[in-house]
Amino acid sequence: MLRAVSSIYIESQAFAVVRRDVIKLFRTTAYSGITSNQHPRKFKKYKTTVLAGASSSKQEPVPLQSTPSPPAPPSQPPPRGPRRGWFAATAVALTASVGGVYIYRKLNTNKEEQQLQLESKDESGEVEGTPIPASAESLPSHVEYLVVGGGTAAFAALRAIRSVKPEARVLLVSEEIGLPYMRPPLNKELWREPDLATRAADPDTLVFQQWNGKRRRLAYEPNSFYLPTEKLRDGSPGAGVARGWTVTALDVDKHEAKLSASGTTATLTYDKCLIATGARAKRCEALRAARSAGLALPLRSARDVARLAAALQRSHAGSVVVVGGGAHACELAAALAERLRDSDKRVMLVFREAAPLAGELPGYLAAHLARALQALGVHLLPSSEVIDSRVSSEQVHLQLKKVGGEDISPGSEEDSSELVASLVVECLGNEPNTELAVSSGLEVHPDLGGVVVNAEMQARSGVFAAGDAACFHEPLLGRRRVARHDHAVASGRLAGANMAALEPPRPYTHQPMLWADVGPRIGYEAIGIIDSRLPTVGVFSADAVTEARAITNTQEDVETEQAVIEKGNQIPTDTEASSQDASKETGSESSSSGTLVQRSTSSEPSSRSYERGVVFYLRDKRVVGVLLWNLFNRMHIARQVLKQGEFEDMFEVAKLFSLHEED
């Protein structure tokens, strides 16, 4: 009945009218003696039917208008029931109907987001910071598969094991209270969400909007996806997660693990174990004073997002300084500039390099990125290093020094080397969490960091490693350790499948990709070794280059580049190449296909903007890296190029990427 009445009122604007008429009904009940045949006319105005009186023997209800004729004997009719109760019931029904309409429309305003939050809600009701489970008695004494870590690699391995062996018992142990979640949105998409400080405090229910406009949860799966650890202890198959627990040591020979949480310790045995402890944020030693005052924060976890969002709300007007020049720092600076655009705060980016992402991008692309960040409202302080900090009046005073050794002056204050900030965010890269590997006697790479594993992601018999914490060998590019989301997914999945061991172990041959989105107009995807010290060849669509003119290399340029490659030295930057031979003019022409070819040794005007193209990174005349600048859905081509490696004409290779087709 409520749904039928609701469907009538949704298309009308009778909320105020109904409220007024309900009041009139009560007045009529108390002060009027109107006969019953007058009431239906009032309700018919709103296309409703009101039934009253006792049920008759007939199937159809008797309308109020058709009053039965009196009996033949002239006797008094039986007394009617009290009208006041009848009208009160009618008023309650109408009020409930109107309320139902309102609630129905309100709940459907953002039905998708509410459904995600409902599915993600933690049924345990535990307070944030309390380990789950709270006692060691709720943990199993033995599991077939122990997964250490709560990130992407750990979750990918868990799913791979469960897909191969659904009957297996798997325990995932995570230091974080939140369920396993994805990290790329932490410095981009999440900062477009309102009330982030409150919502990020519970990452299990946090949702965000993706690039395609759809909303999804930050956590990979809701709490209902996991089996309670008590059931794992009782022998039930499934995947459980111990949240807020830390694996402190492994006895590789005994297949034994020691766990701790909030002063509680536990010991369990396993058949096979995966170390997917990930990486932690690097910290700046010069910011120790600001860090102690809570004014210098990292950004690596969902809890870091909540703390930073809350600090932004509390902080005074002034500068929010992001320290770092990598992809994460640039993404965060752009996101914060957009979020704080209408506030009394400004965003500053302090980095050691001459331009943002100068360690990865060729000089001309790094210069274009710098201009794009400035257009978004980010103030840049290049070639700057924080050497000290102090806190005064809830503000951070940063001592800056030019990388060349001279004091510099931020902004227009040329006689000062001090920068005052209301808040500092440290985005200086990451370092692998190898404490468990060291305490367990596993090999850690002295230079690259990470647990040394073979091609099957195995460190020792029965012990595997994946994700940011693994240092693996690759046939094409040698031994590497990469901190990329795609690598975490692929390596975790392979390690889990090899741990299940239904088939012979498979080697890790996947080429992990990376991507970054700096503001709304710049996005890139890359694969292989992306190092600006390598010689590069960039091919761009001429119609997507501002003030476009083709730049080709003379034979002298090619010979110089080849000589540097043979020596293994760093390729000169654009500015250095220009200063070494200022009188040399580089020839330029526009090709028939409308493309522009740019080598890393060519002099490039700083005003040029590159909107769409591909960059090849070379080592010993072989392509070891491919970067797609504002080109998407072409990574499968880049993998083929990287696999083949050697080409005679990079311009012809670039044609495979369809540079003139916009996405």
| pLDDT value at 232 more than 70 | yes
Average pLDDT, the chain: 79
CA–CA distance, 368 with 378 (Å, rounded to integer): 14
CA 430 remoteness from chain centre: 17
Asked if residue 547 has pLDDT above 50, the reply is yes
Separation of alpha carbons 660 and 663, rounded Å: 10
Tell me how crowded residue 662 is: count the other CB atoms within 10 A of its CB. Answer: 13
Main-chain phi, psi angles of 260, to 5 degrees = -150, 150
**Per the structure block, which two tokens stand in for 583?**
């009188």
d(CA 648, CA 181): 44
Please report which helix (H) or strand (E) contains residue 577, including its range: helix 574-580
* Residue 465 φ then ψ, to 5°: -145, 150
What percentage of the chain's residues is helix, strand, coil (to nearest 5)? 35, 25, 45
Phi and psi at residue 604, to the nearest 5°: -135, 125
Provide the pLDDT for residue 88. 57
| Residue 338's pLDDT band (cuts 50, 70, 90) | very high
pLDDT of amino acid 250:
97
**pLDDT beyond 80 at 365:** yes
- The confidence band for 514, taking pLDDT boundaries of 50, 70 and 90, is very high
Say whether 400 sits in a helix, a strand or coil: strand
Sequence-ordered strand ranges (E) for 34-159:
142-148
Lowest mean pLDDT among 36-45, 156-165, 328-337, 388-397: 36-45
Structure tokens at 383: 């070639």
E strands, 168-295, in order: 169-174, 207-209, 215-217, 238-243, 246-251, 256-261, 264-275, 279-281
Tell me what pLDDT residue 311 has: 95
> Which pLDDT score, from 0 to 100, does residue 474 have?
85
Torsion over CA: 191, 194, 198, 200 (sign) = negative
The domains of the chain, with CATH numbers, are 1-52+83-109 (no CATH), 136-181+219-280+432-500 (3.50.50.60), 285-428 (3.50.50.60), 521-657 (3.30.390.30)
Beta bridge partners of 389: 398
Give the residue among 532, 536, 534 at the shortest CA–CA distance from 599: 536
Whether the per-residue pLDDT at 25 is higher than 80: the answer is: no
- 16 has a pLDDT exceeding 60: no
Return the bridge partners of 398, or none: 389, 419
Chain centroid, CA 155 distance in Å: 15
Is the predicted pLDDT of residue 273 greater than 60, yes or no?
yes
What's the count of helices (H) and strands (E) in the chain, helices before strands? 18, 29
pLDDT digits over 89-111, tens only?
665 566 555 555 444 444 443 44
Ramachandran category for residue 352: left, alpha or beta (phi over 0 → left; psi -120 to 50 → alpha)? alpha
> Can you give the pTM of this predicted structure?
0.74
- Spatial separation of the C-alpha atoms in residues 323 and 552, rounded to whole Å: 37
What pLDDT shows up at residue 93?
62
Helix (H, G, I), strand (E, B) or coil at 615: strand
Residues in the chain: 663
How far, in Å, CA of 450 to CA of 430, rounded? 12
- Flag the least confident range among 160-169, 413-422, 524-533, 597-606: 597-606
SS3 64: coil
Instruction: Specify the residue for token string 């990174």.
Output: 617
Written as six digits, the tokens of 584 are: 């040399």
Backbone angles phi, psi at 448, to 5 degrees: -80, -20
* Other CB atoms within 10 Å distance of the CB of residue 252: 16
pLDDT tens digits for range 430-487? 999 999 999 999 999 999 999 999 999 999 999 999 999 999 998 888 899 999 999 9
**Structure-token match 């900062």, residue found:** 191
